[in-house]
Amino acid sequence: MKNYAMPFILLISILCINPIFNQDSDIWNQLEEIAHIDQKLMVPMRDGIRLCTDVYRPKTTEKVPIIFSRTPYNFNEWGDGERRTRTAQRAYEAVKRGYAYVVQNERGRYFSEGEWDILGLPLTDAYDAFTWMENQEWSNGKIGLYGCSSTAEWQMAAATLNHPALAAMVPQGYGAGVGRVGDFYEQGNWYRGGAQQMLFTAWLYSVEHDKFKPRIPSGASQEDLIRISRFYDLAPENPSVDMSEALSHLPVKDIIKNINGKEEIYDKMIKRKPNDPAWFEGGLYHDDKEITVPSFWFCSWYDVSISPNIALFNHVRNNARSKDVRDNQYLVIAPTLHCRYTRATENTIVGERSVGDARLNYDEQIYAWFDLWLKGESNKFKEEIPRVQYYTMGSNKWQSSETWPPENTQMTKYYLNSKGQANSLLGNGQLQIDLPEEDSNSDHFTYDPMNPVPSYGGNVCCTGNAIQGGSFDQQHMETRNDILVYTSDPLEEGIEVTGFINTKLYVSSDVKDTDFTIKLIDVYPDGRAYNLDETIQRARYREGYDKEVFMKEGEIYELKLTPLSTSNYFEKGHSIRIEISSSNFPRFTRNLNTGGNNFDEVNAVTAHNTIHHSKMYASYIELPIVK
């Protein structure tokens, strides 16, 4: 006879002690005690499309301000687990502080009507949503935006619409919404230095809904939607894929097709060049637009777009026409991965490296910001919160400054040098303050696109199992001969490097087009070599992203890479190192070196590349050293 008692007892034990079940139930019970909850409201846009919206607001007769989160992700509250708890927790935190929390799906996502297009949704959706919220009888007419990653990327362009109800925003990990700012033509993290970042290839496979997905009939009532949402989540679950293998497929344009994913959006985006007019027609922010909103920006040292994110903060602070807008831009830079701010602990580990106690009172600061702008409270946010809060790794401490970079930084050039053999950790590449004495010197390496340098750690996001982000010991990577390694002498005293880091390389190649990569590294006395930031430049775009200029064999070209960013204290006895190569895959697509489109090619050419460093061709990295 089967013993049915044990499974029953086990089930009861899980229900009683499992923290997800308990937390899930408790937070929703607490929320229901303090909030009016109105779900599956269908908010009309000007073209008749309706966007699915949930509203959580305090049980009060007073008018309240609104914290608004628009997202492509699923927030359907039926079911169990982390998603349901996360929605309830965010709503609870807002409501208990006297705010309505409104969350809305982008058009074409889950219960929202219409067709979805990442980075290409109409800006009018944001404006119409603001107007709807402003006109609710319980609204005080003030709206603040709050969210990270895809929940933040739309905020910047929306902040240029000059809607009277939009009073403040808190964008976090927002690089996917930045099209062009200054020297950065990333087009929403699609590019870096003209090379495609592969994060969207993996991300689109995991999130895009099929055109044949089940759809709720147009005009369904709120009652119908609430009922049906208990049974049908409309959340697809694509088959698990080994992205470390899938991203290697050629041609690049067929990667998603090769794993049986939906490819319509990817198919059109993969063909766009960095300056394609289509990038400027959707919901991306570009620096010819005017942000008119006080903003509290949050970035991470190991996020995919740290440099353009900081550049956008500087751009708004320095160029907004309104002095009031310029004076109300604030920035936090944490030593974490993408959107992992609150996961810092007493011993924060990012990859393999400990960066110490990186905790910060995020909620208190964010709600003080909203209290100032949405409630009009005369609090001390502007007196007590520094303009820029940044975490310095190595010394492992939060610091503050009125500007970025801090005013007491001095740009210092470290020149590349060698005895002609900087290949690998075993070579003789050097970083030095003095100019090389030789009239002519260089290092050579072979780049085979079929055997690229693998991405190991780094400033990444959203690539599935293909890359684990963060700081990792690079020593075993540096045994490859297609990586040039340049290392300073051990430091006689510690130095802090905080700010943008510039690179100028003099290069040549025997192919029409190739890439050049760089990685900045902190080398410990025992040999551990922890990566700080990295970038890439496609040679054909060295003169700008509105034209392609190919290389000629034997000619030497000046290459300026997009700036790196960090704040790191190199302790006494540590060394500063850079790695140079021509691939960092699969963070960036491989350049097949043909001079062709790259995205539709399957055949590659091996490149023989050269880095020049001499009196005439002085390649260097320029570090912002705090004095």
Q: What is the CATH number of the domain that holds 421?
A: 2.60.120.260
Average pLDDT taken over every residue of the chain = 93
Q: What is the pLDDT averaged over residues 586-602?
A: 98
Give which of 539, 538, 519 is closest to 478, Cα–Cα. 519
Given 151, 185, 203, which residue is the final one in a domain? 151
Digit-coded pLDDT (tens) for 477-491: 999 999 999 999 999
Structural domain boundaries, residue 34: 1-151
Q: What is the pLDDT of residues 454-473, one digit of tens each?
A: 999 999 999 999 999 999 99
Report the chain's terminal Cα–Cα distance, integer Å.
Answer: 79
- Among the ranges given (305-309, 339-343, 563-567, 597-601), the one the predictor scored with the smallest mean pLDDT: 339-343
Domain-embedded: residue 210? no
How many helices (DSSP H) and strands (DSSP E) are in the chain? Answer: 14, 28
pLDDT at 9: 32
For residue 76, what pLDDT is reported? 82
Average pLDDT (597-610) is 98
In a domain, 241, yes or no: no
Within a domain: 397: no
Q: Confidence class of residue 80 from pLDDT cuts 50, 70 and 90?
A: low
Checking if the pLDDT of 79 tops 80, the result is: no
Could you tell me which residues come within 8 angstroms of residue 219 by beta carbon, excluding any fewer than 6 positions away?
none
Angle between helix 82-96 and helix 19-34 axes, rounded to 10 deg: 30
Rounded to an integer, the average pLDDT of 95-105 is 98
H-type helices in 320-387, by residue range?
323-326, 362-370, 381-384
Structure confidence at residue 22 (pLDDT): 45
Q: Does residue 335 lie in a domain region? A: no
Q: Which residue has the tokens 């353009």?
A: 308
CA atoms within 13 A on the CB side of 559: 34
pLDDT classification of 81: cutoffs 50, 70, 90: low
Domain final residue pick, 151, 174, 191: 151
How far is 282 from 270, CA to CA, in rounded Å?
Answer: 16
Domains in the chain, number:
2
> Which pLDDT band, with edges at 50, 70 and 90, does 215 fall under?
confident
Q: Provide the residue type at 623 as one letter.
A: L
Asked if residue 49 belongs to a domain, the reply is yes
Q: Is the pLDDT of residue 2 over 60?
A: no
Helices marked H in 347-423 — which ranges? 362-370, 381-384
- pLDDT band of residue 82 (cuts 50, 70, 90) is low
Final residue of a structural domain among 151, 176, 204: 151
pLDDT at 84: 64
User: pLDDT tens digits for 513-537?
Assistant: 999 999 999 999 999 999 999 999 9
pLDDT tier at 21, thresholds 50, 70, 90: very low
Residue 24 forms part of a structural domain: yes
Encoding tokens for residue 486? 């340049």
* Residue 10 scores a pLDDT above 50: no
How many whole angstroms separate alpha carbon 455 and alpha carbon 588? Answer: 9
pLDDT of residue 213: 81
Q: What CATH code is carried by the domain that includes residue 32?
A: 3.40.50.1820
Residue 504 falls inside a structural domain: yes
Q: Is position 562 within any domain? A: yes
> Is it the case that residue 453 has pLDDT exceeding 80?
yes
Residue appearing with tokens 């922890």: 530
